[in-house]
Structure 1
């Protein structure tokens, strides 16, 4: 009896290594089993039998990873305390692999987290470097059978590993299909005597031989997926496909070996070929859509570039993808570092939780290296870029699983909601039809079973949603509305309540009229005020900073910004407080109704800057459109100074709440959600971070500030603010298109099932019709989303001109 290795499934030969009453083919597999058992990870083997690979000899193999220059090229992040590395794992192939790779911290406590990207076969590992280095991480992966593929040239040039297995499978299935069809010609044309009698067994044997790699290699993913689903007590969409392939193969093999017929090897190989062809078409088309979005969807975040001129220092806002190596940048309080850089001046307190999940700020001094994704927490700093921005890296950070919202777990997409019923329906129809034909005409039963399972293949159902959402994602990107992922479109379509922040959201800081009331500020005080404002990203701070006269740039000795209240700063012997009346301690002004920024220097109240807000163009028309379908709410941290004006500007019945602290906004949204409301929060990405994260969809308005925030689901360029209703309506219509594509797919299935159930449809015709129906559905959703998107935004432009 053949004995297989408990870990990897290989043949153990005549002398297996026996340990813990289990057989192993080598000491490497035994060692891996011991590691898992010692660390209470033996349930790895419960997910799939023999899921591991034979560990390779690794002694001395990774000595090159001791070299600092090589480490610097490979790692994404390295601050001397924590390193982040993204490794390609070719052997990753099943749920067991994912499970063990995401539990590396149980094998090595210094590993903080590991996140698997299964489609790309990569694992992103964050680890502490005090007691662990990159070489030891790689050796650990190799020791447990997951040796990473490391190529310095690939890392340096940014090349990606390409999985060509689908192309190989498609080639094998196509080759087999063509040859089986050729070998079936004598049967098709009923050639007798010489051909049929003399070569019948040879031809049938060859057809059987050609079917073996098709079933056991090209179609293996369908069997694996169906098996895993059944083990988890889930009927996924691959179950009917795998069942159809299996029934065809068993029936055809039985006919060959009993000499009762030629079987359906042409249908079998054709089915797998067309299934893989549909998958290849999907992969190529969706990759194109994703590439186009990645290429064009540069987030509308800006950073301040500092340049020297003959008259002094010039500051200008540039978009992040314009940053070049050597550029001097100003990073304000709470701003994100868009590129790897060197700290030139200022006190660095960098929060790398965006990258590593570690919230403890790291102190940096002049000359230290800073990494993209870090957030500055202690006033303004000047840095010099040592790389140009990589947009794909920013996208990766934005989608980091560290910031996955708990409510995502309760969100069920439209495809998942329907597909679980679809598989039950298909299997029921197939079994009932087969049962009928077994009684009525048993010779047709097998054809009916396979035809039903093939024609009802849920490929169109599975593909229409990602194609429709992906295409609309691309259309939104062209309109400067950038979504974190495609599911945000479905969420936008389900909402019923819109909440807007006031300052920096429905108002613009570019056109504010500002007046000063109070004691005159000395030149020294105004310089301190200007440099304090320079460190802040709040819309009022930015507006006031641009309003004040130019001053010499100074590095503050101390700076603190308290969200929703104000700022405190020091320079030499002088101190300043800037913010709300309550923050600076002027209780007499707390009831004033105008939007104001108050100033106190050296514990002496000086005065206030009064803002006369300028509201965004088209706001009246936008709110009028939105009021027809949504509950509208203004949720502002400012006082009620402009409530009367807003009541005249906005539709009747718009709720308005003022003097709301960040935690008040968050709690208000929670209350609405408990009442069953689905909320969109539109804010500035700074004081509204908690509210943006709590809402079903958080939209951050970008206007010459770095609003790249993990809290939001979408970023909208300020100039596109009046299109919010058009974006929401486009989202609703996209979901409508998906439902229409489901209806179209359902009609295909009903017509096809009629012919299949009545025995009028052969399996090979079903196999040809199945991908054609899928392709037609994909064309349907792509064309319709393009037309709807173009029509909606053209209509909006026409209304704006009118």
Structure 2
């Protein structure tokens, strides 16, 4: 690096004459940042990118408002006694070095637990210890290393989209220059000799040059930066042929007016960049629309139990929650809103929010934050504010919970783009070499036309637009996907595994019989209160069946997933669950699922469940069996095996008495044998299996239980449409491949005219963005037709 260039930020350092470690710096601020990184073993920051930093600004006193507790509470996502979480918008985020340093903030300050960057939105989500680091100190730390956050108190809200107008400015400059250059070119195009006198030719040509300079060096700079970064890392990205074409056009045109051999191709040059930016702007607006729609709509069909003024319980959608409502939160249930604990003992797991599994105890009157999970029976809370659906989406998509599932479709697109770039560059050089030998006057036109007409923008647009639109369509059909990449994964599955209870059974239509000793009023009340705290499908069904009893606040409660529940109130103890869990030996074969009850170590009896299977189950399985291997993995006993054997297709594997860890190991084994597994469960006992599978779908039936382990949430009423959803995902991939084919055909036709010298660069510059728009139009129309087909 030049001694006249700042090692940290790349600005001119000649006049400052500041040197440290044989490196030049433009100011003491940049030198200080370099020292900080070096002392904290973060010098790799400079290995990822040359001069990646920004000059730190003097912000003394600027963030004193962050000492105001009320203001800080507005900005925070999460706030308890020791931990705070905030998402800050950092405008300077621009490269891999920025991501690396911002995700290693814990090395700069030990009280920062974690930091996760969202490069697309230019935000960083920071988890820090409030006892030893304030929000003001955190913001000052970020500013001191050149990453000053943008904080607006006037309109700040969680998940607010910060508008970056840079593209609009660049598009405006390119459009203004393109229009003027075209007007200045008309006299020479139309040979207006009376006007186009010798003294005006040089003036008009140099004016065209002047208009083109800001277009090339400002409007097109993102393409140059992207191509440069790609080449530095030995990657031929889709911007390389664009940059080569722009560079050749600019140099050729400048040479033409210097040696007075013509007016060059400044109209084509400015037109190319204008239409490129126009396509990018169109893409950005479409993404913004899809993102807004995804955040605004209810992408979680999660129910919550509301306690009415008459002390009745009713299930409502989370987005219907209002300030002042009283809610019942059961064991393993998510707290969807900020609220005050009114009744019950709370042990809250905030790992959804913080990424740490440490639980905290709360007493009546304490504030509880959205995103926590209750782990100790049921509690009642008073709502402080309504739910923000976008916040739940953020929790679901939290990078803390990302696993190693293959997301291969992006890689396929990148491979196609790489091969495409190599092919186009080869064709351009071969065609140019041919024309240099036979007609050198056409060589440069051919070279530039080939590079322009074969721009791979259409290929780059096909996948995101198709998958984004399918994501929206499936959401409207009550199939809610975590992100677009799940569609590609769903299209590849060949094995489908179902849980039984709560997945293929309809809880609301289950018939329950009791056999055993009569329960006293106190025992019924204790049983009802115990079941009230559980979210297991059997518990919920039995809870609804029991007569209204006085609900008591339990002294102890513990749920053993896949086994049963223990609870106590005063001197009364109760166990509810499987026969083995409560220590009872069944003397007769059980033909149906049963829940056994014992109080004070005395066996009382059992509730036998006569399951009603979901509507269309048999037809769905018969349809799926034609293409997929089907498996039922159930934690229940084999009493239902005979019924299921009659109901389901032959060769459907039925495995019972499966613990949660057994399900996980079963999936892992079959994946090692080459299976792509879709797991469908209730999201409670099946979290491990959902996480291990290639795609995990949680069935939702007005139950506020979901796990970051699942990739999708399916409304229970749409269970019989599962085959159609899988078909839609497969059709989406076909649409993308058709888009690739259309782009390939278009390029072949365009290349023929370009190579033979029949295509002017300005025509190519107009046709290129039109091809991108046509691909977007094709994918949008095709996906909408696909959506209507399955209505």
**TM-score, structure 2 normalization:** 0.98
Indicate the residue corresponding to 1:574 in structure 2: 572
Query: Is this contact kept in 2: 1:454–1:767, CA < 8 A?
Result: yes
Secondary structure of the structure 2 residue equivalent to 1:321: helix
Q: Residue 633 of structure 1: CA displacement?
A: 0.7
Q: Residue 417 of structure 1: CA displacement?
A: 4.1
In 2, Cα distance between the equivalents of 1:182 and 1:590? 95
Stretch of structure 1 that moved more, 621-630 or 291-300? 291-300
Indicate the residue corresponding to 2:636 in structure 1: 638
Q: Does structure 1 residue 486 correspond to structure 2 residue 502?
A: no
Say if 1:412 and 1:202 are closer, same or farther in 2 by CA, change over 3 A.
closer
Indicate the residue corresponding to 2:166 in structure 1: 165
Query: Is this contact kept in 2: 1:186–1:196, CA < 8 A?
Result: no
In 1, Cα distance between the equivalents of 2:89 and 2:192? 54
Q: Residue 301 of structure 1: CA displacement?
A: 0.3
Where do 1:368-517 residues align within 5 Å?
Answer: 368-408=366-406, 412-517=410-515
Indicate the residue corresponding to 1:128 in structure 2: 129
Say if 1:150 and 1:443 are closer, same or farther in 2 by CA, change over 3 A.
same
Indicate the residue corresponding to 1:176 in structure 2: 177
Indicate the residue corresponding to 1:658 in structure 2: 656
Q: Residue 193 of structure 1: CA displacement?
A: 6.5
In 1, Cα distance between the equivalents of 2:495 and 2:149? 48
Indicate the residue corresponding to 2:253 in structure 1: 252
In 2, Cα distance between the equivalents of 1:293 and 1:22? 48
Indicate the residue corresponding to 2:761 in structure 1: 763
In 2, Cα distance between the equivalents of 1:45 and 1:34? 12
Q: Does structure 1 residue 226 correspond to structure 2 residue 227?
A: yes
Indicate the residue corresponding to 1:314 in structure 2: 312
Indicate the residue corresponding to 1:734 in structure 2: 732
**Runs in 1 of length 4+ with deviation above 6 angstroms?**
none
Q: Residue 260 of structure 1: CA displacement?
A: 2.4
Indicate the residue corresponding to 2:47 in structure 1: 46
Q: Residue 236 of structure 1: CA displacement?
A: 1.0
Q: Residue 298 of structure 1: CA displacement?
A: 3.3
Indicate the residue corresponding to 1:550 in structure 2: 548
Where do 1:737-748 residues align within 5 Å?
Answer: 737-748=735-746
Where do 1:25-104 residues align within 5 Å?
Answer: 25-104=26-105
In 2, Cα distance between the equivalents of 1:109 and 1:244? 49
In 1, Cα distance between the equivalents of 2:412 and 2:602? 60
Stretch of structure 1 that moved more, 37-46 or 617-626? 37-46
Residue deviations 1:145-198 (CA, integer Å, cap 9, x gap)? 111111112215975321011111111000000011111112211234752411
In 1, Cα distance between the equivalents of 2:698 and 2:727? 19
Indicate the residue corresponding to 2:533 in structure 1: 535
In 2, Cα distance between the equivalents of 1:196 and 1:123? 59
Stretch of structure 1 that moved more, 580-589 or 28-37? 580-589
In 2, Cα distance between the equivalents of 1:417 and 1:662? 39
Q: Residue 410 of structure 1: CA displacement?
A: 6.1
In 2, Cα distance between the equivalents of 1:194 and 1:414? 55
Indicate the residue corresponding to 1:110 in structure 2: 111
Stretch of structure 1 that moved more, 59-68 or 592-601? 59-68
Where do 1:186-197 residues align within 5 Å?
Answer: 186-192=187-193, 195-197=196-198
Query: Is this contact kept in 2: 1:89–1:148, CA < 8 A?
Result: yes
Secondary structure of the structure 2 residue equivalent to 1:637: coil
Where do 1:703-714 residues align within 5 Å?
Answer: 703-714=701-712
Indicate the residue corresponding to 1:23 in structure 2: 24
Q: Residue 318 of structure 1: CA displacement?
A: 0.3
Secondary structure of the structure 1 residue equivalent to 2:124: strand
Secondary structure of the structure 1 residue equivalent to 2:547: coil
In 1, Cα distance between the equivalents of 2:192 and 2:162? 50
Q: Does structure 1 residue 605 correspond to structure 2 residue 587?
A: no
1:586 to 584, 588, 608: 584
Query: Is this contact kept in 2: 1:225–1:238, CA < 8 A?
Result: yes
Q: Residue 408 of structure 1: CA displacement?
A: 3.6
Query: Is this contact kept in 2: 1:2–1:11, CA < 8 A?
Result: no
Indicate the residue corresponding to 2:301 in structure 1: 300
Query: Is this contact kept in 1: 2:212–2:270, CA < 8 A?
Result: yes
Say if 1:345 and 1:446 are closer, same or farther in 2 by CA, change over 3 A.
same
In 1, Cα distance between the equivalents of 2:738 and 2:3? 54
In 1, Cα distance between the equivalents of 2:646 and 2:334? 38
Secondary structure of the structure 2 residue equivalent to 1:281: helix
Say if 1:236 and 1:355 are closer, same or farther in 2 by CA, change over 3 A.
same
Say if 1:413 and 1:17 are closer, same or farther in 2 by CA, change over 3 A.
closer
Say if 1:618 and 1:156 are closer, same or farther in 2 by CA, change over 3 A.
closer
Indicate the residue corresponding to 1:629 in structure 2: 627
Indicate the residue corresponding to 1:4 in structure 2: 5
Query: Is this contact kept in 2: 1:700–1:707, CA < 8 A?
Result: no
In 1, Cα distance between the equivalents of 2:316 and 2:146? 47
Q: Residue 15 of structure 1: CA displacement?
A: 4.0
Say if 1:589 and 1:758 are closer, same or farther in 2 by CA, change over 3 A.
farther
In 2, Cα distance between the equivalents of 1:413 and 1:127? 35
Indicate the residue corresponding to 2:331 in structure 1: 333
In 2, Cα distance between the equivalents of 1:751 and 1:590? 77
In 1, Cα distance between the equivalents of 2:109 and 2:159? 29
Secondary structure of the structure 2 residue equivalent to 1:359: coil
Q: Residue 47 of structure 1: CA displacement?
A: 2.2
In 1, Cα distance between the equivalents of 2:402 and 2:435? 51
Stretch of structure 1 that moved more, 396-405 or 45-54? 45-54
Indicate the residue corresponding to 1:754 in structure 2: 752
Stretch of structure 1 that moved more, 575-584 or 284-293? 284-293
Q: Residue 295 of structure 1: CA displacement?
A: 2.5
In 2, Cα distance between the equivalents of 1:17 and 1:499? 65
Say if 1:110 and 1:411 are closer, same or farther in 2 by CA, change over 3 A.
farther
In 1, Cα distance between the equivalents of 2:484 and 2:161? 23
Q: Does structure 1 residue 198 correspond to structure 2 residue 199?
A: yes
Query: Is this contact kept in 2: 1:352–1:358, CA < 8 A?
Result: yes
Q: Residue 587 of structure 1: CA displacement?
A: 2.6
Q: Residue 593 of structure 1: CA displacement?
A: 3.3
**TM-score, structure 1 normalization:** 0.97
Say if 1:733 and 1:411 are closer, same or farther in 2 by CA, change over 3 A.
closer
In 2, Cα distance between the equivalents of 1:84 and 1:408? 29
Q: Residue 733 of structure 1: CA displacement?
A: 0.8
Stretch of structure 1 that moved more, 270-279 or 44-53? 44-53
In 1, Cα distance between the equivalents of 2:78 and 2:381? 17
Indicate the residue corresponding to 1:523 in structure 2: 521
Secondary structure of the structure 1 residue equivalent to 2:509: strand
In 2, Cα distance between the equivalents of 1:727 and 1:589? 45
Indicate the residue corresponding to 2:718 in structure 1: 720
In 2, Cα distance between the equivalents of 1:303 and 1:109? 39
Indicate the residue corresponding to 1:564 in structure 2: 562
Q: Residue 13 of structure 1: CA displacement?
A: 4.3
In 1, Cα distance between the equivalents of 2:249 and 2:410? 35
Task: Say what the alpha-carbon RMSD is for the aligned residues.
Answer: 1.5
Query: Is this contact kept in 2: 1:633–1:656, CA < 8 A?
Result: yes
Q: Residue 758 of structure 1: CA displacement?
A: 1.0
Secondary structure of the structure 1 residue equivalent to 2:507: strand
Residue deviations 1:210-243 (CA, integer Å, cap 9, x gap)? 1111111111111111111111111111111111
Stretch of structure 1 that moved more, 580-589 or 351-360? 580-589
Query: Is this contact kept in 2: 1:154–1:160, CA < 8 A?
Result: no
Indicate the residue corresponding to 1:799 in structure 2: none
Q: Give ranges in structure 2 of 5+ residues lacking alignment.
A: none
In 2, Cα distance between the equivalents of 1:326 and 1:435? 77
